[in-house]
Amino acid sequence: MTKFEPTKISSIKQVWEEEGFSFRKSLSQNFLIDQNIVDKILNAANVKNGDVILEIGPGSGALTLSMLKRGATVYAVEIDPISTRILTKHLSVYENFHLINQDILTTDLSFLTEGTKIISNLPYHITSPIIAKISAMHGIFNDIVLMVQKEMADRMLAVAPSKNRSSFSIFSEYYFDIKSLFIVKPGCFMPKPKVDSVIISLKSKENLPYNDPSDFFKMVRKAFSQKRKMISSTLKEQDIKKALASLGLDPNSRPEQLSLKSFIDLYDLLASS
Ligand code: SAM
């Protein structure tokens, strides 16, 4: 059997050829082939013996193998059947490797316990629903280190006022303290993506403002549905201008100008009136 070295191009190409694997763009398959970057990601998450880690989309197994070598228990969820077959063949020697051949968006993760880490080079096309799924399990994951497309990181990290802000910025900020760690260039992947990627760290916030934030997010999404317009003209059912003014905010604010705190204050004020 070919020696399994996922970040060594000749080795991984041979494995793929043996198994009849070909890249599927529709699954955001850009595989890491740079061991330095793999090590930097694992160091950022302080991966060590005894850790329990959820990996979303292990793909060719570059991160997976290194996490297993460090003695972590890895639950990896991969949708691609051929990747799954390859990883089963080459990584089953590790007793602490658990592979789930499913779509992460429908996988029941309720077996994971508090303190589980998440490390993933995310399938970019489903970044937002994955973050939403993770946030719904608040309190389970403490260290989360993700690779996302730079544009997505810019949106998640945008501080008001900023054109990069969207309802997703507010959503991310509501649940997590987010930091940008480092950029990963297209040359570190096979095949090469068109854009830069960014490694971000997310720490779950301890106290969340609402037990059920669904109405709050409904308001935020509505405010951003017409991003260039003033909030007062998008949310017209109440006297928004007056509410903004009473909070010391510009009555003509557009959604991208408001911080998370301002949105919370506005929501609370409207809910109480
Ligand atoms: N972890 C690998 C690496 O860093 O080289 C691969 C990362 S690649 C960007 C994304 C991976 O997610 C691919 O292996 C792809 O097949 C997998 N994937 C895509 N959609 C998925 C889904 N809905 N559920 C689980 N895995 C998915």
pLDDT 10s digits, 72-121: 999 999 999 999 999 999 999 999 999 999 999 999 999 999 999 999 99
Q: What mean pLDDT value characterizes the chain?
A: 95
Place of tokens 């399994």: 4
How high is the pLDDT of residue 227? 86
CB contact at 8 A, 191 and 60: no
Atom 3 in ligand 1: residue holding the nearest Cα: 31
Q: Which two tokens stand for residue 20?
A: 């009849």
Grade residue 3 by pLDDT with cuts at 50, 70 and 90: confident
d(CA 181, CA 85): 32
Residue 146 Cα distances to 46, 152, 156, 207, angstroms = 13, 11, 12, 22
Grade residue 187 by pLDDT with cuts at 50, 70 and 90: very high
Q: What is the pTM of this model?
A: 0.95
Q: Which two tokens stand for residue 211?
A: 């037990």
The β-bridge partners of 74 are: 53, 97
Cα of 188 vs centre of ligand 1, distance in Å, is 16
Judge if the beta carbon of residue 232 lies within 6 A of ligand 1.
no
Helices (H), 136-230: 150-157, 167-175, 214-225
Percent of the chain having pLDDT more than 70?
A: 99
How high is the pLDDT of residue 235? 86
